[in-house]
Amino acid sequence: MFPKNGLRESIPVNRKNDMKFFVDTAEISEIAELNDLGMVDGVTTNPSLILKSGRNILEVTKEICDLVEGPVSAEVVSLKSDEMIAEGRKLAAIAENIAVKVPLTWDGLKTCKTLTDDGFKVNVTLCFSTNQALLAAKAGAAFISPFVGRLDDINIDGMDLIAEIRQIYDNYAFETEILVASIRTVNHITQSAIIGADVVTVPPAILKKLIHHPLTDKGLEGFMKDWAKTGQKIL
């Protein structure tokens, strides 16, 4: 998996789409700011983010769906499949771009299969193993959400999981998109792109850090000093 240059090997695959950025938040102002820059291909929410927003889940989800064109993940909160299915259908009725988010349990997979057969997109979340990802793809998931940061927290390299899922999905031409979640650092995003993940879902603060480099700051500082010495103005 690791060649001499230290980068994980990636399997060349012809993909038509660019890597997609989903924003991992339920804060409307944060989504709107990044959306205006063309940096939002979708949004992911979860019960914790809804709590943080202080908003009603149906109202804030509808507002997000009206703001962005891409998939908006809204998560069910029941644990039994019949209740999950009912909740999923209610969430899916909010807007056409809803992706119903379900946990990676047997009941979650049952819900995934039912909602997928109904024509809805499903995001299967809380994935921590390749076997789980394989099951989700077999159940028809539109997205699989492996949590790399939480694996890192227990001294398991989360990016190894992304590389393994990419290889398995490519081996069998699964159409399920790999949505890298629980991103904690800009390096997670870089490595996801190198491996060939389809989507990264990123907190706005981490996404904004992609722009920073000390040599950019140093170079700009030098240019500004030299420009001041010219005594000129453009406007």
Would the pLDDT of 12 be above 70?
no
Residue from 28, 96, 36 nearest 56 by CA: 28
Task: Report yes or no on 122 lying in a domain.
Answer: yes
What is the domain extent for residue 152? 20-230
Task: Report yes or no on 67 lying in a domain.
Answer: yes
What is the tens place of the pLDDT at every residue in 24-44?
999 999 999 999 999 999 999
Task: Report yes or no on 2 lying in a domain.
Answer: no
Tell me the whole-structure pTM to 2 decimals: 0.91
**62 flagged as catalytic:** no
For the chain, the domain total comes to 1
Strand partners, 43: 23, 72
Task: Report yes or no on 13 lying in a domain.
Answer: no
Task: Report yes or no on 76 lying in a domain.
Answer: yes
What is the tens place of the pLDDT at every residue in 166-219?
999 999 999 999 999 999 999 999 999 999 999 999 999 999 999 999 999 999
The CB density around residue 167, as the number of other CB atoms within 10 Å, is: 16
What is the tens place of the pLDDT at every residue in 161-179?
999 999 999 999 999 999 9
Task: Report yes or no on 77 lying in a domain.
Answer: yes
Task: Report yes or no on 3 lying in a domain.
Answer: no
Residue from 13, 3, 44, 6 nearest 27 by CA: 44
pLDDT at 18: 84
What is the tens place of the pLDDT at every residue in 128-161?
999 999 999 999 999 999 999 999 999 999 999 9
List of E strands, the chain: 20-24, 42-44, 72-75, 98-103, 121-127, 143-146, 177-180, 199-202
Task: Report yes or no on 9 lying in a domain.
Answer: no
Q: Which of 20, 62, 90, 101 is catalytic?
A: 101
CATH code for the domain of 70: 3.20.20.70
